[in-house]
């Protein structure tokens, strides 16, 4: 739907209102207002900021991606013809044999940036299977090609994938075998017939493309959607909440959230949509689901998201439902801990957008990086090592995929009193002679709950349970090892800081926040889940220089075991068996909560609501109908504890 050039931002013609109400989404919009002159100016400023931030690829890179996709299409076509010939099919069948390449994810949505990978799907005929033909034969073909590097098959993933680089461009390649002997070149993947007689991994593989196409069909203005999504993905990465594997949100999750805002404000431009995004999701009453359309049932009988029938669905913390059949919760990895962090970040974004609309801040303030290592007093450090970079690539992927379980187990075993904030960024200590990678989690006592003075949390058993799960890695090799340790803020290793040491000066974005919230830290709207914790002035003395040549003593870990003077010293104790040497944590002592709950001071404006009611009421009413189950979902969920879902309990 085109946005009117009129700057009035006032009434909308009746035919436009009728179109907005009937075409997009299944609830009425929250507002039909168009942009004002001020909105148009802010939109121009936002466009310039995104361009200056390097979020758009060059024409040369775009051409290189198209060439890679063309080459990949040729390779899979040749591969299928080869298999058809080997299996004794007729010459006509060999000639007709075909496979096609589809894209999905950010590339298909049109929001990819420079250097990002391309999500691709190969669709082949019914007689070409995934287990042998794709992961063995095609894998071997790719392995022999000079253009291909870093080839990594992941056949046991929730969505089986083959990862590699082709001419330097990262590719994630899925495979789906559909119930056709010949795959037409113009295959309509949105048609339900592609799902006939296929297994669930194939359905999950196909739905990446199907969901992307549905999203583009369900938004009022595709270009406004793309600009808004590009902006919010950049924001999420800067704020440390872009990672599906860690328990935050990935590309499709952010796309659905943005698309829903586009439906609720069909005539808004990107600068308005970004502001409304934070305004709506700071007050969204999770676990009410976000959906772009009604959930469709089908005679094919694949499971769909339905908490009335499926007990597991009742424990999903932040349901974001895909719009293509079979509708699924795309954010099942989100836990109570990561949801808490994201809500804090939504509050942060909402506050900054309010300042931008009052001309008290620029767009750059919204994208200030999240200073994770100034947000907490206590951290868990997870060091991952291997004999070489190839082994580390696979080993790190396995450990990273399990880190969210460590977060859940810690909160479960401490009854939610010890809260975790996993950080999705990887850090590398280049001084180590063996291949190294590290991830960190922030730790804090649950806010608003008084604890016994000096109380410690003994999580040795929790870490040991985590060790046993990591130990199940079937591709373990000598040299692969992992260490878990508790470090305080003063003890953080130098390699996590860009310059190799802590800064003594207060970061400028913290200074900016102090201007917004006042000097008194107790009046800050943000909790420790935000990077800019309002640290009292007396605590700045803790932010001393940390020189790399004078490391502090680390708690609960043996330096000799972590040092890895040679690859041989990094091997497991049991001579090649998958025995992990995880250092158990004796205890974590927290000083207690020092900041207020982030949600308590989130101020929501209601100027964009439809006449006759405030935005809060509109969103609440919309959520009740959006759930699709009236009171059923709410009644089932309100009585449960959201700290630790039962489905991950041991």
Distance between CA atoms of residues 646 and 650, nearest Å: 9
Q: Which DSSP state fits 135?
A: I
Pairing of strands 118-124, 169-177: parallel
Q: Which residue has the tokens 């006449």?
A: 611
β pairing state of 161-166 and 456-457: unpaired
Please write down the HEC assignment for all residues of 62-75.
Answer: HHHHHHHHHHHHHH
- Active site residue: 28, 77, 81, 233, which one? 233
Element (H, E) at 43: helix 37-52
Cα gap 217→115, rounded to integer Å: 27
Phi, psi at residue 142, to the nearest 5°?
-65, -40
List the catalytic residue out of 106, 275, 330, 526: 106
In a 3-state reduction of DSSP, which class is residue 584? coil
Specify which residues 103 forms β-bridges with.
120
252 in a labelled binding site: yes
Q: Is 587 annotated as a binding residue?
A: no
Closest listed residue to residue 424, CA positions, set 334, 291, 359, 491 = 334
Nearest to 122 by CA among 110, 106, 133: 133
> Of 73, 96, 117, 306, which residue is the catalytic one?
117
- Tell me the C-alpha distance between 354 and 337, whole Å: 26
CA 232 centroid distance within chain: 12
Distances (CA, A) of 125 to 113, 201, 315, 455, 643: 33, 16, 38, 61, 45
Instruction: Decide if 481 is catalytic.
Output: no
Asked whether the beta carbons of 321 and 259 are under 8 A apart, the reply is: no
From CA 625, how far away is CA 349, in angstroms rounded?
A: 26
Catalytic hit among 24, 107, 175, 242: 242
CA 463/CA 473 separation, integer angstroms: 16
Rounded to 5 degrees, φ, ψ at 602 are -75, 115
Residue 497 annotated as part of some ligand binding site: no
What's the token pair of residue 447? 């806010």
Check whether 459 is labelled as a binding-site residue. Answer: no
104 annotated to a ligand binding site = yes
List residues bridging with 163 in a β-sheet.
Answer: 152, 172
| 331 marked among binding-site residues | no
Q: What is 331-356 written as a DSSP string?
A: TTT--HHHHHHHHHHHHHHHHHHHHH
Q: Which of 552, 554, 542, 341 is nearest to 444 (CA)?
A: 341
Structure tokens at 586: 């004796």
- 547: annotated active-site residue: no
> Binding residue per annotation — 136?
no
From the candidates 119, 354, 391, 608, give the one annotated as an active-site residue.
Answer: 119
Is 251 labelled as part of a ligand binding site? yes
Active site residue 96: no
How much helix, strand and coil, in percent to the nearest 5, is found in the chain?
A: 40, 10, 45
The verdict on whether 172 is a catalytic residue reads yes
Q: Is residue 105 part of an annotated ligand binding site? A: yes
Residues contacting 559, CB < 8 A, separation 6+: none
Report the distance separating Cα 592 and Cα 446, nearest Å. 8
CB contact at 8 A, 105 and 244: no
**Upstream peptide bond of 287 is cis (omega within 30 degrees of 0):** yes
256: exposed, middle or buried (C-beta count within 10 Å: 0-12, 13-18, 19+)?
buried
**24, 28, 77, 172: which is the annotated catalytic residue?**
172
Does residue 626 contact residue 292 with C-beta atoms inside 8 Å?
Answer: no
Contact 420, 443 (CB under 8 A): yes
Catalytic residues, which ones? 106, 117, 119, 172, 233, 242
Annotated binding site: 104-106, 117-119, 172, 233, 242, 251-252
Extract the annotated binding site for ATP.
104-106, 117-119, 172, 233, 242, 251-252
Residue numbers belonging to the annotated binding site for Mg(2+):
117, 119, 172
């Amino acid at each position: 739907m085109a946005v009117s050039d009129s700057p009035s931002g006032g009434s909308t013609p009746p035919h436009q209102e009728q179109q907005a109400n009937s075409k997009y989404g299944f609830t009425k919009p929250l507002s039909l207002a168009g942009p004002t002159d001020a909105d148009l100016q802010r939109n121009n400023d936002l466009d310039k900021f995104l361009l200056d931030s390097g979020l758009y690829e060059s024409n040369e890179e775009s051409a290189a991606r198209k060439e890679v996709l063309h080459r990949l299409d040729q390779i899979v076509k040749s591969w299928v013809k080869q298999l058809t010939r080997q299996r004794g099919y007729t010459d006509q069948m060999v000639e007709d044999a075909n496979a096609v390449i589809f894209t999905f994810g950010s590339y298909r949505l049109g929001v990819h940036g420079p250097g990002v990978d391309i999500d691709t799907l190969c669709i082949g005929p019914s007689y070409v299977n995934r287990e042998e033909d794709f992961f063995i034969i095609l894998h071997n073909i790719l392995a022999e090609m000079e253009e291909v590097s870093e080839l990594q098959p992941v056949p046991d993933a929730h969505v089986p994938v083959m990862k590699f680089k082709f001419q330097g461009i990262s590719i994630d390649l899925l495979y789906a075998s559909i119930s056709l002997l010949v795959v037409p070149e113009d295959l309509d993947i949105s048609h339900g017939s592609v799902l006939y007689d296929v297994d669930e991994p194939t359905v999950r593989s196909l739905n990446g493309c199907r969901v992307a196409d549905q999203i583009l069909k369900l938004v009022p203005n595709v270009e406004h959607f793309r600009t808004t999504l590009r902006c919010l993905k950049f924001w999420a990465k800067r704020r440390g909440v872009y990672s599906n594997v860690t328990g935050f949100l990935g590309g499709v999750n952010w796309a659905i959230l943005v698309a829903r805002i586009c439906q609720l404000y069909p005539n808004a431009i990107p600068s308005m949509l970004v502001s409304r995004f934070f305004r709506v999701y700071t007050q969204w009453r999770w676990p009410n689901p976000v959906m772009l359309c009604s959930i469709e049932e089908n005679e094919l009988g694949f499971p769909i998201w339905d908490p009335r029938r499926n007990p597991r669905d009742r424990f999903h913390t932040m349901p974001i439902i895909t719009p293509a059949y079979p509708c699924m919760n795309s954010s099942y990895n989100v836990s109570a801990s990561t949801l808490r962090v994201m809500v804090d970040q939504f509050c942060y974004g909402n506050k900054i957008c309010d300042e931008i609309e009052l001309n008290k801040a620029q767009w750059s303030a919204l994208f200030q990086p999240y200073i994770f290592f100034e947000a907490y007093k206590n951290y868990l450090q997870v060091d991952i090592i291997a004999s070489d970079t190839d082994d580390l690539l696979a080993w790190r992927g396995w450990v990273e995929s399990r880190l969210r379980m460590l977060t859940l187990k810690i909160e479960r075993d401490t009854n939610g009193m010890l809260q975790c904030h996993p950080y999705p960024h990887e850090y590398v200590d280049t001084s180590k002679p063996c291949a190294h990678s590290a991830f960190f989690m922030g730790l804090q006592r649950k806010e608003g709950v008084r604890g016994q003075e000096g109380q410690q949390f003994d999580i040795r058993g929790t870490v040991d349970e985590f060790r046993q799960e990591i130990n199940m890695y079937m591709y373990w090799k000598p040299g692969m090892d992992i260490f878990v340790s508790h470090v305080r803020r003063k003890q953080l290793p130098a390699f996590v800081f860009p310059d190799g040491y802590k800064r003594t000066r207060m970061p400028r974005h913290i200074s900016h926040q102090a201007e917004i919230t006042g000097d008194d830290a107790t009046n800050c709207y943000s909790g420790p889940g935000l990077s800019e914790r309002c640290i009292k002035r007396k605590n700045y003395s803790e932010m001393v220089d940390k020189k790399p040549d004078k490391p502090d003593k680390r708690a609960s870990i043996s330096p000799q075991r972590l040092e890895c003077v040679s690859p041989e010293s990094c091997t497991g104790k049991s001579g090649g068996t998958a025995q992990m040497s995880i250092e158990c944590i004796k205890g974590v002592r927290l000083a207690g909560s020092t900041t207020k709950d982030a949600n308590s001071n989130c101020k929501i404006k209601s100027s964009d609501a439809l006449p006759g009611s405030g935005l809060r009421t509109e969103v609440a009413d919309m959520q009740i109908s959006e759930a699709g189950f009236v009171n059923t979902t709410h009644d089932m969920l309100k009585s449960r504890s959201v700290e630790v879902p039962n489905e991950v309990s041991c």
